Amino acid sequence: MANVPGSMSSSALPQTSGQTSGGHHGASGLMLGALGVVFGDIGTSPLYALKETFAGHHPIAIDRLHILGVLSLVFWTITLIVSIKYVAILMRIDNRGEGGSLALRAVLERTVGDRPVARTIALLGLFAAALFYGDCMITPAISVLSAVEGLNIAAPQLHVFIIPITVAILIGLFMLQRHGTGAIGALFGPIMLLWFIVLGAAGIGGIVKQPGVLAALSPHYAIAFVAHDGLTAFLAFGSIFLAVTGAEALYTDMGHFGRVPIRLGWYLIVLPGLVLNYFGQGALLLSDPAYIDNPFFRLVPTWLAGAMVVFAAFATVIASQAVISGAFSVTQQAVHLGYLPRLRTIYTSDEERGQIYLPAVNWMLLVCVVALVIGFGSSSDLAAAYGIAVTGSMMLDGILITMVAVLVWKWSVRKALLIFGLFLIIDFMFLAANATKIPYGGWFPLLVALTIIVLLTTWKAGRALLIKIEVASEVTLGELRPTLSNVTKVPGTAIFLTSKSDGLPAALLHNLKHNKVLHERNILLTVEIDDGPTIAEGNRVEAEDMGDGFRRIVLRFGYRDVMDIPRALAHATEAELGFFYLPMEVSYFISRETLIAAPGPDMSLWRKRLFLWMWRTAVSAMEFFRLPTNRVVELGSQSKI
């Protein structure tokens, strides 16, 4: 197993940025941290993957041929999808250190510019983000529920309390989100390290009793299973895929820990623990097929089952924490990229800017997760809803990496398909197999993804329409100059927030119309979001003197940066701004618009109404940009869209 990545030499594939894997300095500490964040989802898959494969909605015979065939498919699926596709290949591609679908999209968009293919790339990135939300809802539900179901083995008399206990754990988990994960995050790594050691030890215990199970390492058992049971094997792919759910997290969280720590954690700890446990469960089934009721918990001694239930619950809470934090992060990125309205964001750490809490997202996830647990009632039924979102995301990643090879690395289409075509075929095969689950619950993540896509595209289109209307009626500084000599000037600095690059903001015009004064310094401030995760302080400010006391300033932020305008101005120099920034001598003027939906050809009326609902849910610019409340002046206006 350790030799798998060796087949892909360090020079076999180009890298898309200057980031390198770096040295191994500090890698062990980062590896421990990665164990607690990155591997939680895939690390808890043994709780349900093998059980669902044999006893799910498409059960298969529990005999030597099928056990070895399934184990062989599990092993080679993990090898091809995780060890090679994600760890060896995709982790070579980063957007200034960041990984994930958004990183692939950013790398491609920088290359293609305004070419027609850019729209296709944007849509692929949106679909991947939308599918991620379905995964965020199902992962906590199936993980925690499958752990608590261990009570059927440890304490059967408590069977009726499985759902209430699961719901209580989930409610507690989501209620704790507002406190942040910094205080308990240090515990996650050691707990998950112990978890993978226990997985491996339990697996070895089973393998020792049935060492013949190791024959499944040979791919010919997978081939024999597929050849012997064509349709049954195809249907089994939908459940076998559960063994690699969470693989995309290795790539998505690359920016937090780096390539080397994640690769070390995978090859040295996670991969051996998972493979040993799956083979241990297979060995158990070879000795007694009746253990299929819960092979994971049957693998440990009866006297340890109760402790294992508690331990598994801890592990699944950690796995759930990772996807919940991921939902916060993806939502924040969507807001910064202009696909969602401004949402209330609480920064739970003064040191780590990535530790955020979005109340609206948190409570929405809680309602959906609890509804899933109560509605489906068992991990087996939830497994039918699981997989379709993840396979869809992996398929999109496969398409995007192929596009990177052609458009960024300048490979021929033939060469790209020859190298990455195998992964596309595997992804499509698993997607097709999971599509058979749609009537049994797979419709849920698709419904969630469709809803998210409608919201994202509606907000983007609505904002574009609003800007178009504003541009049509804008007044430029050149048109205003002849009247400035008759306007009273008052001391101080007025900062007018505007999304326009040319015209004057409505707040400035309203102030001039009603108050008939201007400040001695008038700053037209625009915030721009870069396609990279962060912007260095020295590259954040761009200023232009427009004359007559006016100055245009552009503040640039990365999509993971904190949108803190006062802090950014305070860190800028007088030379950059064109004036000396004194917080108590600055007034911020912002517009508070009231929008009215009107029929028109640019956008359907129902989407306009949806956009207006989203508009009303947005937090004010004052809160979003962290403006001081005692220095803000809001001026209202009304517009039709």
Residue among 129, 533, 176, 508 nearest 334 (CA): 129
Q: Is 267 left (phi over 0), alpha (psi -120 to 50) or beta?
A: alpha
Domain ranges within the chain, ordered by starting residue? 4-15+46-460, 473-640
Would the pLDDT of 3 be above 60?
no
User: What does the angle CA 424 – CA 409 – CA 414 come to, to the nearest 5 degrees?
Assistant: 50
pLDDT at residue 356 in the model: 75
How many C-beta neighbours within 10 Å does residue 567 have?
Answer: 13
**Strand, coil or helix: what is 262?**
helix
Q: What is the pLDDT of residues 393-429, one digit of tens each?
A: 888 888 988 998 899 889 999 999 988 898 899 999 9
Q: Which residue has the higher pLDDT, 610 or 2?
A: 610
Superfamily of domain covering 4-15+46-460: Amino acid/polyamine transporter I (1.20.1740.10)
625: Cβ contacts below 8 Å, ≥ 6 apart = 497, 527, 563, 564, 565
pLDDT for res 243: 93
Query: Six-digit token pair at 524?
Result: 């037209």
Q: Which residues contact 36 (CB under 8 A, 6 or more apart)?
A: 185, 187, 188, 189, 190, 191, 192, 318
Residue pair 259/21 in contact (Cβ under 8 Å)? The answer is yes
- Summarize pLDDT for 85-102 with one digit per residue, the tens: 999 988 888 777 777 777
Q: Residue 540: which of 580, 507, 569, 583 has the closest Cα?
A: 569
Q: Is the pLDDT of residue 150 over 70?
A: yes
**553-581 per-position pLDDT tens digit:** 999 988 778 889 999 999 888 888 888 88
The percent of residues above 90 in pLDDT, for the chain, comes to: 35
Report how far residue 272's alpha carbon sits from residue 203's, in angstroms, rounded to the nearest whole number.
10
Q: Is the pLDDT of residue 354 over 70?
A: no
Average pLDDT, the chain: 85
* pLDDT, tens digit (0-9, with 9 covering 90-100), for 11-53: 446 665 544 444 444 566 778 878 877 888 899 999 999 998 9
Task: Work out the pLDDT band at 534, boundaries 50, 70, 90.
Answer: confident
User: Per residue in 61-79, pLDDT tens?
Assistant: 899 999 999 999 999 999 9
Per-residue pLDDT tens over the stretch 168-209: 999 998 988 877 655 455 668 888 999 999 999 999 999 999
Q: Quick check: 559 and 331 in contact, CB under 8 A?
A: no
What is the percentage of the chain residues whose pLDDT exceeds 70?
92
Q: What is the pLDDT of residue 353?
A: 53
Mean pLDDT of 108-112: 84
C-alpha pair distances (Å), 542 with each of 335, 437, 478, 575, 605: 22, 52, 21, 11, 39
Cα separation, 388 vs 510, in Å, equals 52
